[in-house]
Structure 1
Amino acid sequence: MLHNPYRAFLALIPADRLLVGDVVAAAGGVATVQLPGGGLLQARGEATAGQRVFVQGGVIQGTAPTLAYAEGEA
């Protein structure tokens, strides 16, 4: 069997990206999360409004730190 380095590299990348956002509403184990770009998504898990969370694959993975956002130009 031949070893394909590209396929080995792709196997290291998770299928679902880890996203971060702010919870805008939560009820019944489902939270509405607002992403930094303004998009909204529904995620399963326990959270409270105003909390910043990590979301992966539609599931809240845990709380995220609240850090200041800075953007720079090259």
Structure 2
Amino acid sequence: MANLLQQFKSLLPDSPLLVGDVLSISNNILAIELPDGSQITAKGVATVGQRVFVRGGRIEGLAPTLAYVEVEI
């Protein structure tokens, strides 16, 4: 019989990959502004002004600086 907890976890979606600009750094915690204007915090390595990819509260890497376009469907 398979582990029921693992089966349940497989039903849940993964954390989304977000992109944002680093606003400030304090005690290795980065404040990041998302394109919609909201702010989140994350841990990782980046400098103020860089655009980064964030998933689950961790910096996954640098993101390219491109124009933000929102399309409603």
TM-score normalized with structure 2 length:
0.74
Alpha carbons 1:43, 1:59 under 8 Å: kept: yes
Equivalent position of 1:54 in the other structure: 53
Q: Partner amino acid for 1:21?
A: G
TM-score normalized with structure 1 length:
0.73
Q: Partner amino acid for 1:15?
A: D
Equivalent position of 2:19 in the other structure: 20
Total equivalences in the alignment: 67
Q: How far does residue 31 in structure 1 lie from its aligned partner after superposition?
A: 0.5
Equivalent position of 1:4 in the other structure: none
Q: Percent identity?
A: 50
Q: How far does residue 49 in structure 1 lie from its aligned partner after superposition?
A: 0.6
Q: How far does residue 61 in structure 1 lie from its aligned partner after superposition?
A: 0.3
Q: How far does residue 29 in structure 1 lie from its aligned partner after superposition?
A: 1.8
Please list every run of at least 4 consecutive aligned residues from structure 1 whose deviation after the TM superposition is greater than 4 angstroms: 71-74
Higher CA-based Rg: 1
Q: Partner amino acid for 2:49?
A: G
Distance in 1 (CA, whole Å) between partners of 2:55 and 2:33 is 14
Structure 2 residue ranges without an equivalent (≥5): 1-6
Alpha carbons 1:30, 1:46 under 8 Å: kept: no
